[in-house]
Amino acid sequence: MNKQAKRQFFDFGIFLLLCAAVILLNAIWSSRLSHTPVLNGWVLLAMILSLAAYQVRKQIQTLPFLSLGSLSTWFRIHKYTGLLSCLVFGLHINFRIPNGTFECLLAGLYLGVFFSGVAGLLLTRLIPPRLASTGAKVLFERIPQQVQQLGEEVENIVFENMPRSESTIIPEIYANQLRSFFRKPRSILLHLLQSGRPPQLLLVQLRGQQRALSANEQAVMQEITNRVTIKNDLDYQFTLQGMLRVWLFVHVPLTYALLVFSIFHAVLAGAFTGGN
C-alpha cells in the first residue's frame, strides 16, 4: 500500500468514525429533552461555514504569524466535511421533504451544492487520467489562442494555394466546413462522452476528396488535415479541462445562496424555538 493509499484509508476511517459520532450524538440528543433539530442545525450551519471557508482559503496564500495549512489538506477536510454534512442534513430534516416553500428552497440549495460538489469530486477523479492518456500537455487558458492560430494557418494555406489550384474544392471545403470548425470548440458533448466519432467524420470527409485533387492540392489538403487533427485534440482538451472548471459555476454561486438562506433560517429557527 503506497503512501497516498494509506492516507486515503486513514481519511476514510476518520470519516466513518465521524459519521458514527454524529449518529450517536443525534441519538443522545433525541433520547433527552434536547431540541435535536436545533442542535444538529447549528452543527450543520457550522459545517457549511467551514466548507465555504475553503473558497476563502483559496484566495489567501499566507497569513502572517499563522500557518493556514496546505491547500491539499484543506481540500481533504473540505471533501470529507461535505460528505459528512449530507448525513447531518438528513438528520436535520429527519429524512423528510420540508413543508414550506422557503424550507424546500433551502433544502434544494443544499442538495444542489452537495451534488455539484460530488460531481466535481468525480470529475477531478475521472478527467485527469483521460487527459494524461493523450500525452499532450496543454494549458487550458492558451487553448483559444492555439485554436485561433490554427484557424489562421489553415486560412493562410487555403488562400496562398488558391492561385495554384486546379479546382475550387479546397476553398469550398474551407468555406463550408473548416472555417466554422476552427472558429470555436466543436463536438463538446461527444468529447465528453469519449466518442471518437467527430474527428473521424471530418477526416473521412476530407480524405474522400483526395481522389479529385491534383498532387499539389493533395499536399495542401494533407497540411489542412494535420491541423484538423490538432484542432480536434485541442477541442478534447478544452472540453475535459473546461468540465473541471465549469462545475464550479454551479457549486460556488449556489454556496453563496445557501449561506444567505441558512442565516435567515437560523434566525427564524432561533426566534420560533424560543431563543434556544
- Where does this chain bind other proteins (CB under 8 A)? 24, 27-29, 31-35, 98-103, 105, 140-141, 143-145, 147-148, 151-152, 155-156, 159, 179, 183-185, 245, 248-249, 252-257, 259-261, 264, 266-276
Structure letter (DSSP) for residue 66? B
Q: How far is the CB of 30 from other proteins (least distance, A)?
A: 8
User: Which CA distances in Å does 44 have to 105, 129, 184?
Assistant: 16, 34, 43
Report the residue number, 26 or 213, with the smaller CB distance to other proteins: 26
Q: Which residue number, 21 or 212, has a Cβ lying nearer to other proteins?
A: 21
- Find the shortest distance in angstroms from Cβ 64 to other proteins: 26
| Residues paired with residue 63 on neighbouring β-strands, in sequence order | 66
CA distances from 71 to 58, 121, 254 (A): 7, 15, 22
Nearer to other proteins, 135 or 274 (CB): 274
Contacts (Cβ under 8 Å, ≥6 apart) of 169 = 209, 212, 213, 217
At closest approach, how far in Å is the CB of 42 from other proteins?
12
Q: Which three cell numbers stand for residue 250?
A: 454551479
Question: Least distance (Å) from other proteins to the CB of residue 181?
Answer: 12
Nearer to other proteins, 122 or 260 (CB): 260
Q: Which is nearer to other proteins, 115 or 270 (CB)?
A: 270
Q: Rounded to whole angstroms, how far apart are CA atoms 264 and 271? A: 11
Task: With H, G, I as helix, E, B as strand and everything else as coil, classify residue 63.
Answer: strand
Place of cell 504569524: 65
CB of residue 121 to other proteins, shortest distance in Å: 18
Least separation, in Å, of the C-beta of 261 and other proteins? 6
- Please answer whether residues 263 and 48 qualify as being in contact, where contact means their C-beta atoms are separated by less than 8 angstroms: no
Closest to other proteins by CB, 143 or 228: 143
Residues 205 and 198: their CA atoms lie apart, in Å, by 11
What is the Cα 200 distance to its own chain's centre? Answer: 27
